[in-house]
């Protein structure tokens, strides 16, 4: 067990750390989040939230998710995902994340 509730994970290695991007299934913070491990996945700590869902999950077909990532040549990360369905629509969003 990773110690966090998640769906549709995407793993990425950054140097000595592993980053897991995922649909956050914690009831108090639905959206897209990431957690980090510096011990090959034995333990994880919450890194932050990239997208805050507009409300509680209303079923799997309505939820955000499926983050995809790529390491950019200058060392940053590009992460894209789809937002929650609202009024029959969803968006594909992307974030350019800078690494420390």
> How far apart, in Å, are the Cα atoms of 9 and each of 32, 86, 87?
10, 23, 26
Name the residue with tokens 């968006």. 91
Please tell me the predicted confidence (pLDDT) of residue 61.
63
Please tell me the predicted confidence (pLDDT) of residue 60.
63
For the question of whether the overall pTM of this predicted structure is more than 0.85, the answer is: yes
**C-alpha to C-alpha distance for 18 and 86, rounded to whole angstroms:** 32
**C-alpha to C-alpha distance for 75 and 61, rounded to whole angstroms:** 34
Q: What is the pLDDT along the chain (100 residues), one digit of tens a residue?
A: 888 889 999 999 998 999 999 999 998 999 999 999 999 999 999 999 999 998 777 666 668 999 999 999 988 999 999 998 888 888 999 999 997 6
């Amino acid at each position: 067990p990773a110690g966090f509730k998640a769906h549709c994970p995407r793993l990425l290695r950054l140097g000595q750390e592993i980053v897991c991007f995922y649909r956050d299934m914690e009831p108090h913070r639905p959206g897209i989040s990431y957690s980090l491990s510096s011990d090959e996945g034995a333990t994880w700590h919450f890194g932050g939230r990239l997208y805050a869902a507009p409300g509680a999950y209303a079923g799997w077909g309505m939820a955000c998710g499926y983050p995809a990532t790529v390491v950019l040549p200058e060392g940053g990360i590009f992460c894209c995902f789809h937002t929650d369905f609202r009024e029959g629509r969803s968006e594909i969003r992307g974030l350019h994340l800078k690494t420390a």
